Structure 1
Amino acid sequence: MKNTKLLRFIEDFSLPLIFLVLFAGLSLSVEYFFSDKNMIGLALSVSQIGMVACTMMFCLASRDFDLSIGSTVAFAGVLCATVINRTDSVLLGVGVSLLAGAAIGCVNGVVIAKLRVNALITTLATMEIVRGLAFITSGGQAVGASTEAFLDLGHTIIFEIPSPVWITALCFVVFGVLLNKTVYGRNTLAIGGNPEAARLAGVSVDRTRILIFLIQGVVAALAGVILASRITSGQPNAAIGFELNVISACVLGGVSLMGGRASMSGVLVGVLIMGTVQNAMSLLNIDVFYQYLVRGSILLAAVLVDQLKNRGEQA
């Protein structure tokens, strides 16, 4: 009985324990890692990934995924800067960008849910289309924006913490409540567990899947606007490979690729582990080529663990 409880405890809290051991080890062994400046830099570096991971979690939990988020981030940043430059209205620029993100997400959702096209093919196609729109809108070059109100979105400091970190924290709270306390969250997990059973139970499967992608698009666009504010321009080639980092963080955080299982706390820890490893490698001046190897190995290990868990549950 005691052994069973111990095994269950290890299974439930293995990821936070791994992060704590990793964090403590790096704090003791890597110079400047635990400094105030580096901790704020670490939080800021994972803020965009954290925002979008909150909604990618819902996609994965419903047995889907979205490869177009990196292109959406870039397009939203370019579009926002372009609209602000032409209208001198930050509100209009942000609003148009969020609407564009919603439209991209809605198209993904409708094609996947209604037309029954595979999520891989659909979002791979929109990834290319939206990236092309980013380059067309910008003329292939960065679109600078120097409006003070726009720059404040990514540079405001509140209680010594940058605003993007606060926005990411708010996303974790809001989507954590949606996952655990609302019908939307329960329906998402039900669809991922068994779509046909969910449909027979009265869940509007198609509408929920469309809504998941729509929200994904809006949050990706928000991340793009904030990124553009941080770097003071919309970059059409921004966020290349971003979708893989987000999916890696979610899978590392225990979100099942088979659907039906997800936790916001797990995603948070997954994001922090990915960011912590990246930050430590940068401080140690490890060549970027080796960093690719490390990130890929972490993703592969997370997928293998997910597969083992699924086999254990089926057994």
Structure 2
Amino acid sequence: MNTLTTPSSSSTSPSTSTASDRPAMNSKHRAWLNEHSMTLGYALLFVVLAFSVENFFSAANIVGLMLSVAQIGMVACTMMLCLASRDFDLSVGSTIAFSGVLGAIILERTQSVGLAIGGGLLAGALIGAGNGVLIAYLRVNALIATLATMLMVRGLAFIVSKGQAVGIADESFISFGDTRLFGLPLPVLVAAACFVVFGVLLNHTVFGRNTLAIGGNPEAARLAGVKVEKLRVWIFLLQGVVTAMAGLILASRITSGQPNSAQGFELDVISACVLGGVSLLGGRARIFGVLIGVLIMGTVENVMNLLDVDAFYQYLMRGLILLAAVLLDQLKTRGAARR
């Protein structure tokens, strides 16, 4: 007698497995889109501007764009570490001004480029370390500590320069910001090196893992053996050194140390970091995201200059970008909390 055979359970398993895998695949797609949404958005923006704005895609303008964001990019690399550790630094603009003025004064009096650069970098290191000690060991709120430092360092820049720009005539120092290698200005290459070095530091070293750990939960990191206070001082010291380097490069580019330079610089840097996915609550940072954030800030400013937009409207746009960056960070934080 013939018997009817029923399909075995194994024959239906592929369709069942496929159906069960769909939510996981959709979740992965959403995560991928969320992770790379800013990169895709910038790529689309770049293509649109290349076809719609005259001279935007020219070689001269692209090099000029990279040069205009070089200083912001350098400082954003270390600001990323500050934000990732649940701190921030409002004194970077003043540090840029002071290191440029101090370097110009040392150069004027000693005629030594090495001493000028060394003096500027040492000043930046001391300012950064001072911020770190105030915040980590003396428990001063980062907002108050770096705001006070911002005012004091800006005041020092005006005092040592007597309120005047300090001219630079030394060709060796000027070439520091004007030399081209492989067709690119030296400041662009320095900024690129910063992204590589701090990207490796963040993603492939104990220093980077501990930075994210103290940003995520300082007490848990301390219980795990991380020297939280010491690490915070080192982060701010690195911030000071890199910021001072940016100040010296700026002074060499404009051939003078300007005590009133880089005003509002700190807001541009923080905006670029937050646009790039660095959380204001700490514990989350991506070096490639910071690069995209820097490029967005620079591209918007570059296009406004090409279109001859009034400076007052440029201030408005920068404020809107900062607000958008903060709102984006809030949305990402709430989305992560729901998951």
Q: TM-score normalized by structure 1?
A: 0.99
For structure 1, which runs of at least 5 residues remain unmatched after alignment? none
1:218 aligns with 2:272: no
Structure 1 distance, partners of 2:256, 2:31, is 48
Contact 2:267 2:322 in 1 (8 A): no
Structure 1 distance, partners of 2:47, 2:184, is 22
Structure 2 distance, partners of 1:52, 1:90, is 22
Counterpart position of 1:180 = 203
1:234 aligns with 2:257: yes
Counterpart position of 1:126 = 149
Match for 1:243: what amino acid?
Answer: E
Give the SS at the match of 1:25: helix
Q: 1:220: Cα distance to partner?
A: 0.5
Query: In the alignment, which of 106, 109, 120 is matched to residue 129 of structure 2?
Result: 106
Q: 1:6: Cα distance to partner?
A: 2.1
Cα offsets for 1:193-225 (capped at 9, x unmatched): 000000000000000000000110001100000
1:62 aligns with 2:90: no
State percent identity of aligned pairs. 67
Match for 1:24: what amino acid?
Answer: V
Q: 1:299: Cα distance to partner?
A: 1.7
For structure 2, which runs of at least 5 residues remain unmatched after alignment? 1-21
Q: 1:305: Cα distance to partner?
A: 1.6
Counterpart position of 1:258 = 281
Match for 2:262: what amino acid?
Answer: A
Larger radius of gyration: 2
Contact 2:42 2:292 in 1 (8 A): yes
Counterpart position of 2:302 = 279
Structure 2 distance, partners of 1:11, 1:300, is 19
Q: TM-score normalized by structure 2?
A: 0.92
Deviates most, 18-27 or 287-296: 287-296
Query: In the alignment, which of 198, 204, 220 is matched to residue 197 of structure 1?
Result: 220
Deviates most, 77-86 or 304-313: 304-313
Give the SS at the match of 1:269: helix
Match for 1:80: what amino acid?
Answer: G
Give the SS at the match of 1:184: helix
After TM superposition, what 4+ stretches of structure 1 lie above 6 angstroms from structure 2?
Answer: none
1:132-147 equivalence runs, <5 A = 132-147=155-170
Structure 2 distance, partners of 1:296, 1:85, is 38
1:87 aligns with 2:144: no
Counterpart position of 2:178 = 155
Cα offsets for 1:43-98 (capped at 9, x unmatched): 00000000000000000000100000000000000000000110010000100110
Deviates most, 95-104 or 282-291: 282-291
Query: In the alignment, which of 52, 55, 80 is matched to residue 32 of structure 1?
Result: 55
Match for 1:8: what amino acid?
Answer: A
Counterpart position of 1:304 = 327
1:15 aligns with 2:43: no
